[in-house]
Every structure is written in C-alpha cells, then in structure tokens.
Amino acid sequence: MLYKKLGNTQVEISAVGQGTTGVGSYSNFNPKEIKKRIEVLRYGIDLGMAYLDTADLYGGGLAEEIVGEVIRGMRGKVFVASKFNPRTKVFDSVVASVEGSLKRMRTDYIDLYQIHWPNPLVPISETMEALSMLVDQGKIRYIGVSNFSLEEFKEAQSFLTRETIVSNQVEYNLIERSVENDFLPFCEKNGVTLMAYSSLNQGKFLFGEKQKEVLNNLSMKYNKTIPQIVLRWLISHTPVIAISLSKSMSHTKENALSTEFDLEEEDILKINEVYKHQSIKVPINRIRLNISENGPIYMTRKEALDNHLDLIPSPVVLAKIILRRKYIKPIRLVPTRDASGKYDYDIDDYDIRDNVKKYWAWVIAHGDKAGIPAIILK
C-alpha cells in the first residue's frame, strides 16, 4: 500500500481510502447487507486501506454507526474522517454535530473533521472558531473542508490562527477535472491534500472510441484492470488521495492493489489527452428532466424551492453558491431519448439527483433564459 502525508502534517494515510456511502438508512435497514459491508471495510483495513471516510449525512447517521462497529478494537490503527454541515446558531450546531458523530462511532475523537459543503447563509468565521475549539479539546485532530472553491478555502483558512486546513474533499475523476484548473496546483504548492470522491465515476470510464482504446491498451500493458489504471492515474498526482467505494471483497482487493504499480509519464499524458472535456452552454428548455430509476427528483421550480427531499445543500443555497462563485461545475447530459423533437438532451443518470439540483439552482440563480454549462456524454 502506498501512503501519503496528510497536508503538511507528519501523519501518513493510505493513498486509496474507503468510502461509506450507499449503506441504506434506518428506515431501509438490511442487517445482512450491513454485516457484509462491515466485513468488506475490515478486509480493506487488513489490506492497508485504513483511511475511512464517512459523514453524518450518509444514511442519516447509519454510516457512522457502521464505521463505529468497523473500528471497534482497532481505533488506533484506523484514520477516521467525517463530515458535517453547519446550520444556524453555528457554534452550537458544530458542537452538536461532532458530539453526535462521536456517539454514533463510539470513539473519543475524529481524526479529520470536514465541513461537507460551504453555506453562504452561515458565517464561516464562527464555524472555524468552533472547529478550532474542538481541536483544543482533543475531539478532532485535523480540520478539513469539502466541495470548497479555492477562494472559499482561502477565506476559511483566514479565520484560523493556529491550525491549518489540511484537505479539501472534491469530486475528481476522468470526467470531472475542473480542480486541475486551480485547486490541484494550489495543493501541490501549499502542501494541501486533495481528497477525490467519486474517483471511479460509478464505473463509467468509456465514453468514446479513443478513450476505450487508451484504457484497454493500458490495461493490457500493465496487466491491471481499468479501475486500477484509473485509480493509479488519480493518485499519480502527489496531493491526491482517492476515495473508493466497494461492496465486495474482490473489488476491495482490486482497489488496494491499484497502489502497487506506477504509470509511466507518457501513459499519464495519454489519459489526460483523451479525457479532455469541453463544456458548452445548453438552453434550459432543450434539456428534458427525465424520470430516473435512481430515486425521485424535482420536476418543477416550486419543488426545488420547497426542497422536500431535504437535499444538502438545497437548490436555494446552491444557487447562492453559484452566484458567489460566478460559475457552476457543468451538469452532465446525454443525447435525448425523447422522440418528440422538443428536447436535445436528457440529464445523465450518473448522480442524477445532484445534476437536477444543479439544474434548478442555475434556474433559481439566473432564470431559465441563460444557457447552463454542460458536458455532453455520448
């Protein structure tokens, strides 16, 4: 297993960590699946992937309970990261969040505690003050953020006097590479760790003949699977830790072994070249909000404003983030399957709820006349 330093600290964590999303919920509880997930996570730890990433949002707290069971009897051998979302009465909400996570995981401390999403509605200064206090109390060891832009990261850091923010957890994979524009170079220069979530893009790697050819050739050249090639490409970037998700022993072993070889520089460049994606502006009215098997979505602006699914951040908050940043990560579209001629594109099924949330956040921020940035997948 390859290990990397966490930020500018002397702590080393596995270059490929284990994610804990998709565990179900308290209302949709499957004891057999939970038991299997615990066994798989423990197997990953045995293989060296002793970095576990979770959040109080996952399964409404169930994921943290599972992590608590996984680390029972081996707490000192495992690096545990969790995430929270600050709310109104910021200081009290941060303290309540960490106490809830500690209780669910049955531990005295969290190694890395991360703000899950920036929230323009609450003062970041108060959030950082609370986190600094928790470090002093020994309830958390290190402070991290998630889904922060470079500007938001710098602003948050400006409110810390003794600690530094050691990491930012962001989506980074073959399709979503926007961090390469600014945040990844910043991490390389300043000793910040970039935690890459959705690292394997839910197993979707091949979108065109050139991409298929390159990945298949590299798979044969190195005698490795395509997921292993992709994970190795990610962690070839010095600051990057890849968070992987597995529900089976075989996939967990496959992920762990992705650190046991090196990609030649020319092969890294080949991957970079064939996975360049140009976003375009697509008129809102040419996008079909297709019904998905992957769960309910908001079909109207009113539903998005009401946020009855309790999405975090809500479409309204995400709209404020878009206006503040003056940009949005492109949504993913595919050619429409609708035969009426009314639409050009459907929203890609990959994390469709998140893509639809971006769609409505854009409409709330800019109206339905401004074209939305999008990547077209074929």
This prediction's pTM: 0.94
- By three-state DSSP, how is residue 157 classified? helix
Distance between CA 2 and CA 258 in Å, rounded?
A: 9
Q: Which domain holds residue 267?
A: 3-274
Task: Give pLDDT tens digits for 241-255.
Answer: 999 999 999 999 999
Are residues 323 and 368 both part of a single domain? yes
Are residues 291 and 258 both part of a single domain? no
Are residues 179 and 321 both part of a single domain? no
Are residues 178 and 50 both part of a single domain? yes
Number of structural domains (the chain) is 2
Distance between CA 241 and CA 222 in Å, rounded?
A: 21
CATH no. for residue 250? Answer: 3.20.20.100
Last residue of a domain, one of 257, 274, 291: 274
**pLDDT at residue 218 tops 90:** yes
Are residues 131 and 193 both part of a single domain? yes
CATH no. for residue 302? Answer: 3.90.1530
Catalytic residues: 58
Classify each residue of 73-106 as buried b or exposed e, where b means 16 or more C-beta atoms within 10 Å of its C-beta.
eeeeebbbbbbbbbeeebeebbbebbeebbebbe
Are residues 142 and 12 both part of a single domain? yes
Last residue of a domain, one of 230, 249, 274: 274
Are residues 198 and 328 both part of a single domain? no
**pLDDT at residue 29 tops 70:** yes
**pLDDT at residue 194 tops 70:** yes
Are residues 265 and 224 both part of a single domain? yes
Per-residue confidence band for 23, with pLDDT thresholds at 50, 70 and 90: confident
Per-residue confidence band for 229, with pLDDT thresholds at 50, 70 and 90: very high
Are residues 349 and 222 both part of a single domain? no
Task: Give pLDDT tens digits for 267-313.
Answer: 999 999 999 877 899 999 999 997 666 678 899 999 999 999 999 99
Which pLDDT value is given to residue 293?
A: 66
Task: Give pLDDT tens digits for 140-179.
Answer: 999 999 999 999 999 999 999 999 999 999 999 999 999 9
Are residues 334 and 317 both part of a single domain? yes
* β-pair partners for 144: 114, 167
Are residues 109 and 127 both part of a single domain? yes
Chain centroid to CA 192: 16
Which pLDDT value is given to residue 292?
A: 67
Least confident of 225-234, 306-315, 326-335: 326-335
Are residues 181 and 142 both part of a single domain? yes
**Between 328 and 12, the higher pLDDT residue:** 12
Last residue of a domain, one of 259, 274, 289: 274
Which pLDDT value is given to residue 286?
A: 95
Which pLDDT value is given to residue 75?
A: 96
Question: Shortest CA distance to 375 belongs to which of 331, 311, 309?
Answer: 331
Between 31-46 and 62-70, two packed helices, what is the crossing angle to 10 degrees?
50
Calculated CA dihedral for residues 323, 327, 332, 336, nearest 10 degrees: 70
